[in-house]
Amino acid sequence: MHLYPIQNYIFWLLLIIVLCARFSTYNYNSQIYFNGKNASFRSYVLRHPYEEDGFQIIEAGKYKFKTDLKFKYCAGQYLNFNFDKKYLENKVIYSPNIEISQSMTINAICLFSSFRDYLIQRVLGGLKQPYAGLLLGILIGYRQSFPSNFENAFKATGIVHIVVFSGANVSFITDLVLPLAKKFGSRLYFIFSSAIFIMILLLVGFEVPVIRASIMGFIKNFALIVGVDPDPFILIFYSAFVMLFIHPPLIQSVSFYLSFGAVIAMVIAGDISSFVQGPFKDIVLSFLVSTLMFPLLGFYFGKVSLIGFFVNFLINFSIPFIMKFGFLYLIIPNLLLKMIVSIFLEYIFSVARLFSLFDFVDYSVNISGDLLIAFYLPVVAGYFFWKVFFAGAFIKYE
C-alpha cells in the first residue's frame, strides 16, 4: 500500500491548470451562426428525442427544440436548426426549421435509436401505464408516457431519480453481465466491459450520469490491467476531468453536479456506514446519502423530501429485481415475467402513493451558494483529512 506521493498531487494540480486553460479558450458559441435576423445552431443529437405535450423534443447543446411529430428524428443525426435569433436567450425554441446532414450522420447510433424505439413499443404494447413508463425509465431512461400524478408523488417522496437511468444502473448491468469475463483475465474483462459501456450509451443516450459511470468504469478496468486499484475519489476526479475537457459547457449542467454529487455522497456515506454492522447498516447508509444530498437538491430545486431516505430504503431492494426480470421481459415477453415485474412496480407505486399523502414530506427550502459552500467544504475537507491521515487513503499496486 502506498499513500498518495507528492508527485500525484502535483500531477492533479497540473490537470486542473490544463482544465482552466481549456475553459478560457473554449468558444461557447462555436455552434451558432448568424444570417441577418436568423440564427442557426448545428450539433449532433446525442440524446434520444422524445415526445412531450404533443411535441417532439430534441435536446442539443444547452437548447431544447420543440417540433411537430410529422418526421421522426433520432440520435446520431447531425442537425442544423434555423430560427429567429431573438430566441437565443430562451432555452426552449419552438418550431425551428431543421435540416439533416446525411453525410455527417452516425448510422450506428441511429441503428441503436431504432432498436430502442422497437423495445419501447414492445413494452408499451404489453404493459399498461404507469407500469410501462416506470419500467422503461429504469431500464433505458425513457422519459415520456409517465403520468404526472405519479411523477409528483415520486418527487414528493424523494424517489424520482429511479425513473432516470443512472450510474447505479450501469454498475448493476456490468455486475450482472460480466462476472464470467473476469475468469478470463483483466484484459478480456476490459474489452467486454468497454463494449457493454458503449452499448449502454448508445441505447440509453449520452446522458451525463451514464457518461460519468461509463468513464469511471473504463478508467477503473484499465487501471486493473496495469495492476493498480485506484481509490474511488481518483476515479471521480479523472472522469470529471475527461468530461469537462471534452465538453466544457458541462460545467454549467445541473445534471453534472447532481451526478457527481450523488456518487461522492455514496463514497463518503459508504465509508462512514462501514462502521455500522447488522440490519441498520443500510438505513444508516440511506440516511447519510440523503443528508449529504439535501443542500444540493435544495439549492437547485428549492425542495427536499424529509423522508426520502426512508422511502428509498423501502424500495431499494426491488430495483435489482425489476432490472433482472425487466430485461428478461424485453427479450422474452411472456405472462409470467410480466406478472413478476408488475408486482415489484406496483410495490413502488404503492409506497410512493402512501407517503405522498403526508403534506410534510415535501419541504421547501432556500439554500444560497454561500450556504452550499459552508456545508460541503468542511464535510469534504474533514473526510479527506480522516481518509489520508487516519484511514490511509492509498493506491494499491498488485
Same domain assignment for residues 50 and 136:
no
**Domain assignment present for 27:** no
- Whether 70 is covered by a domain: the verdict is yes
Q: Do residues 281 and 140 share a domain?
A: yes
Question: What is the DSSP annotation of 89-114?
Answer: G-SEEES-EEEEEGGG--HHHHHHHH
- Co-location of 38 and 117 in the same domain: no
- 307 and 162 housed in the same domain: yes
In a domain, 24, yes or no: no
Q: Which residue has the cell 413508463?
A: 133
DSSP for 23-90 reads HHH--TTTTEEEETTEEEEEEE--S--EEETTEEEEEETTEEEEE-SSS---TT-EEEEEEEGGGGG-
In this structure, the answer to whether residues 64 and 142 fall within a common structural domain is no
Instruction: Quote the domain boundaries for residue 186.
Output: 113-397
The total number of structural domains that make up the chain: 2
Q: Which of 105, 122, 157 is the C-terminal boundary of a domain?
A: 105
Both 166 and 68 in one domain: the answer is no
Query: pLDDT by residue for the chain (398 residues), tens digit each?
Result: 344 567 777 888 899 999 999 988 887 776 788 888 888 888 899 888 888 778 899 988 788 899 988 888 999 999 999 998 888 777 888 889 999 988 898 988 999 888 888 888 888 888 888 888 889 888 888 877 666 677 778 877 888 777 777 777 777 777 776 666 667 777 787 888 888 888 888 888 888 888 998 898 888 888 878 777 777 888 899 999 999 999 898 888 888 998 898 889 888 888 888 877 777 787 888 888 888 888 888 888 887 777 778 888 888 889 889 988 998 898 888 889 999 999 999 999 999 888 888 766 667 778 888 888 999 999 888 888 777 766 555 444 44
Q: Please indicate, yes or no, whether residues 80 and 133 belong to a single structural domain of this protein.
A: no
Return the DSSP state at 166: -
- Reduced DSSP (H G I as helix, E B as strand, rest coil) percent helix, strand, coil of the chain, to 5: 65, 15, 20
Q: Of 73, 105, 137, which residue is a domain's last?
A: 105
User: Is residue 79 located within the same domain as residue 162?
Assistant: no
pTM (predicted TM-score): 0.84
Q: Which of 105, 132, 164 is the last residue of a domain?
A: 105
User: Per the domain annotation, does 15 fall within a domain?
Assistant: no
